[in-house]
Amino acid sequence: MPWPILTGLLLLSTPNYIAGLSKPQSTPGPRPVSFSDAIANIGSDQKQIWRFPMEIARGKHWKAVVAVTATTAALVALDPVTGPYFRRTSDFRRFNAVFSGSNTTLVIAALPASFYVAGLLGENSYARSTALLAGEAIAGAEILTSVLKNAGHRLRPAAIPPQGDLANTWFRDKGYSLGGVGSFPSGHSIAAFSVATVFAQRYRSHRWVPYVAYGLAGAIGFSRVTLLSHFPSDVFMGAALGYSISRFAVLR
C-alpha cells in the first residue's frame, strides 16, 4: 500500500486518536448496532432503499432526484467527449499507481476495520458503532450496485477498442455475476462515498473530518475514470447513491 494512505490509516487506528474524535456529539446517534444486528439492519436498509421510488411518487425528494438524474444524463451525453482524453493521456500514471483498484479497495475496507479494532482496544463504543455502520453502508451499497450493474450491462471504457463507439455502451457487457457485470454505477465510488458519509456525519463536530472523508472519496472516484474503469457518469451516480444510502438509510 502507498505510504501516504498507510500512514493515514495508522494514525486513525490509534485508540488515543479515536478517543479524541469521539467526543459527545450535539445530536443523538443512530440506532444501536452490533454484529448480531447486522443482518437485520442491512435488511432494513434495503427496505428503505427499494421503497424510495414510492417516496418520490408521494412527492418527496423529487427536486434532488431531478437534479441528480439531469446531471447524470448530461454526463452520459458527454462521455463520448471526455472519454478519448483519458484514453490517450499519460498525465495520471503516478496518481493511478497510488489509487489503483486494489489499493482503493483496501483503503475502503481497512478504514472501518481499523476503527473497529481501535475501538475495541480503547474501549470506545462510539468508534465501534461507527465502524459497524460503515460496514452496513458498504453492504447495502454493493447490493444495489450489483442489481444496477446487471440491469444496465454497460461496457467499461477499457473494454472499448481505441476507435470504438463510446456513445454505444449500454446493454453490451454480456453475462451476469453476483457482484454485477457492467460499468454503471461505479462500485468503488458508491462504497467510498457511503463510508465517507458515515464518518463525515458521525464526526461532523470536527470540521476537518468531512473534508478529509469526502476528499479521499472524491479522489477514489476520480481514479476510476483515469484508470479507464468507469465513465464520469458512472462515478457521479455512484457518489450520489453512496451518499444517499448512508445519509438516509443507514443513518436515518
The DSSP code sequence of 165-217 is: -TT--TT-S----TT-SSSSS-HHHHHHHHHHHHHHHHTTTSTHHHHHHHHHH
| Nearest-angstrom CA–CA distance, 179 and 49 | 18
pLDDT of amino acid 30: 55
Per-residue burial over 130-157, b = 16 or more CB atoms within 10 Å of its CB, e = otherwise: bbbbbbbbbbbbbbbbbebbbebbbbbb
Compute the Cα dihedral for 44, 47, 48, 49 and give only its sign.
Answer: positive
pLDDT of amino acid 53: 82
**Residue 103: closest CA among 229, 245, 220:** 220
The model carries a pTM of: 0.84
pLDDT of amino acid 21: 52
3-state secondary structure of 51: coil
Decide if 204 contacts 247 (C-beta within 8 A): no
Expressed as residue numbers, the domain containing 189 is 33-250
Supply 23's cell numbers.
Answer: 467526543
Asked whether residue 125 is domain-assigned, the answer is yes
Asked whether residue 28 is domain-assigned, the answer is no
pLDDT of amino acid 241: 96
- Single-letter residue type at 17: Y
| Nearest-angstrom CA–CA distance, 102 and 166 | 26
Supply 98's cell numbers.
Answer: 497510488
| Nearest-angstrom CA–CA distance, 38 and 131 | 12
Asked whether residue 6 is domain-assigned, the answer is no
Split into its structural domains, the chain has a count of: 1
Can you give the CATH number for the domain in which 91 is found? 1.20.144
**Cβ neighbours for 174, distance < 8 A, ≥ 6 positions apart:** 153, 181
Asked whether residue 27 is domain-assigned, the answer is no
pLDDT tens digits for 164-194? 888 889 998 887 777 678 899 999 999 999 9
Asked whether residue 23 is domain-assigned, the answer is no
Asked whether residue 4 is domain-assigned, the answer is no
Decide if 157 contacts 85 (C-beta within 8 A): no
pLDDT of amino acid 73: 95
| Nearest-angstrom CA–CA distance, 91 and 131 | 35
Asked whether residue 24 is domain-assigned, the answer is no
Asked whether residue 113 is domain-assigned, the answer is yes
Given a cut of 50, the residues of the chain with pLDDT beneath it are: 1-19, 22-28
pLDDT tens digits for 5-18? 443 444 444 444 44
